[in-house]
Amino acid sequence: MSRLPVRRACQLDTQPEEQRWLIDGLWADQAVGVLGGEPKCCKSFCALDMAVSVASGVPCLGRFATSQTGRVLLYAAEDAQHVVRRRLDGICRVVGADFDTLDVAVITAPSLRIDLAVDRELLNNTIEAVKPKLVVLDPFVRLHRCNENDVQDVAPMLSYLRNLQRRFHCAVLLVHHARKGGHSRGGQALRGSSELHAIGDSNLYLRRRGPDLLLSIEQRAAPSIDDIPIALQGHDDALALRVLDNDEPRAPPPQATVADKIVDTLTSTGPQTPRELRAACGVRMARVYDALRHLADDGRVVQDHGAYQLA
């Protein structure tokens, strides 16, 4: 009769301390988890900083040493390719990494949905060929068309990400939005099913408290750390997130542009007419049309029957 394999506890595999982490204290080796935060909390910048760190070996956020290096596979669903390139190039210039040899493979497909079997197979084949140490998927809302509040919709997608980790022995970082409003724990603010919080081996949360941008780290098998002050530093388009020392001045948060406000509105409400966007953004109609034109040129919004929606 067949049966499940078992071992005595003392016979289970051990792991040397130096192999426990992908990025020391920040992201565990082969961890599946969520990087969450409200809009304009630099979630994508943080994910890209982690990608540069793993791909080049430089400390992440200027503070967390990289224990293991390797290729990174990145899918940035909300940013145009030239934006992704500019941000990665800027981070490399700030941290002293060589952008031309940076081992980050970017998925350039216009869409990827992990709720579809055909797209799952495509991602499986890509990971098998690329063999990444870290997979970054940004953001979760663009990876499916399911109900994020329904555990029966969300659980199979998260199980698929766990299977990626186990099959290909890679870490998986899922960028996800948080609800606005105060929560004592970052995981409680994640939008949608509580499964998104529960799956994390390593979870990171970004939030603003007044002018300060704060990072909290939550680990399944290590101590957690709350409220680490970080800030975007650099010059011009060469920007990277850095952990601030206690005596460093806090820079004021960047002001949201009209384009940022439009993207936030379309993310939360769906298609909107220019007049509805004007009311939501509180600016003149000419500025709304100007921002929509730039967003359309970047391929971030499309127009359909007089209303605009995210591409």
By C-alpha distance, which of 143, 146, 152, 145 is closest to 175? Answer: 143
Range 17-243: architecture per CATH: 3-Layer(aba) Sandwich (3.40)
Q: How far apart are CA 52 and CA 131, in angstroms?
A: 16
Counting DSSP H helices and E strands in the chain, the numbers are 8, 13
Question: Where exactly are the structural domains of the chain?
Answer: 17-243, 258-310
Q: What share of the chain is helix, strand, coil (3-state, %, to 5)?
A: 35, 25, 40
Domain 258-310's class?
mainly alpha
Compute the distance between CA of residue 31 and CA of residue 199 in angstroms, rounded to an integer: 10
Q: How many angstroms separate the most distant Cα atoms in the chain?
A: 74
pTM (2 d.p.):
0.77
Q: What is the pLDDT along the chain (311 residues), one digit of tens a residue?
A: 789 889 999 888 876 665 689 999 999 999 999 999 988 899 999 999 999 999 999 999 999 999 999 999 999 999 999 999 999 999 999 999 999 999 999 999 999 999 999 999 999 999 999 999 999 999 999 999 999 999 999 999 999 999 999 999 999 999 999 877 655 567 778 989 999 999 999 999 999 888 899 999 999 988 889 999 999 998 878 999 999 986 555 445 556 788 888 988 888 788 899 999 988 888 888 899 888 988 888 888 898 888 898 88
Bridge partners of 133, per DSSP, are: none
The answer to whether 237 and 90 are in contact (CB under 8 A) is yes
On whether the CB atoms of residues 233 and 94 are closer than 8 A, the answer is: yes
Residue count of the chain, please give it.
311
d(CA 244, CA 133): 28
